[in-house]
Amino acid sequence: MEIPRTPSFRLDGRRALVVGASSGIGLACAAALAEAGAHVVLAARSCDRIEQVAAALMDGGYQAIGLQLDIADVAATAAILAQQDAFDVLVNSAGLARHSPAVDTTVEDFDQVFGINVRGAYFLTRGVAKGLIAAGRPGSLINISSQMAKVGGIDRAVYSATKHAVEGFTKSMAIEWGPLGIRVNTICPTFIRTPLTEQTFANPERSRWIEQKIKLGRVGRVEDIMAAVTYLASDASAMVTGSALMVDGGWTAD
């Protein structure tokens, strides 16, 4: 009798591009993929910071290099990707939030948030897919979305709209590229404690609202995302595409 075996979570020999890797969720995703054996290209707008992160990973015995990249500049991003070998894995953790009541939303804030969260994410994902298609290789493309892709939130009309849009193009790209072996998914975290979210947690009213909504009774940590991204990047999720992996502590279970 042949007993089935769990598919490997290892990523040895694969190239992974992690965008927004200089801190927070993106840095944690880069570390997770490196631990799984991937050669990780860490990308962010800040060259100095990304080189520091790459050096820290290499000091730990992992394969990592830095790359300066601003996905808000679609043309420059396309040119940089065209010069790179195909990436087996993409993790896009770049994002922007400008929270305010909907009646106070400025056109500038709207355009800037959509420019990175939707326009930048769309063309980054397309660019990595084009490299895989040209090379005739399968791959796993992952955008860090949000629980706000499934619900609304206080002062988050613009942000929530962008994440709903990411879920939409993820599903369509998954359908289009599925026959080529290219999988496209999202990870949807709840509030994760990072330097960028400390301002939110410093507001007692917002902090109480968050804690009441998360059924597991605590806010998220970057470590909560690490196994999720390794799963979606690896052969362990070979039959998963066009999906949103919720890491929200039960927020959207209502």
Q: Count Cβ atoms within 10 A of the Cβ of residue 149 and give its class: 0-12 exposed, 13-18 middle, 19 or more buried.
A: buried
In this structure, the strands spanning 63-68 and 15-19 are unpaired
3-state secondary structure of 189: strand
Match 């994760």 to its residue by tokens.
192
User: What is the 3-state secondary structure of 9-50?
Assistant: CCCCCCEEEEECCCCHHHHHHHHHHHHCCCEEEEEECCHHHH
> Is residue 152 within 8 Å of 103, Cβ to Cβ?
no
Give Dmax (Cα) for the chain.
66
Q: Do residues 192 and 219 touch, judged by C-beta distance below 8 A?
A: yes
What positions carry a catalytic annotation?
Answer: 159
Strands 89-92 and 139-144: parallel
What is the signed CA dihedral for 122, 126, 127, 133, rounded to 10 degrees? 170
Stretch (H or E) spanning 246: strand 244-247
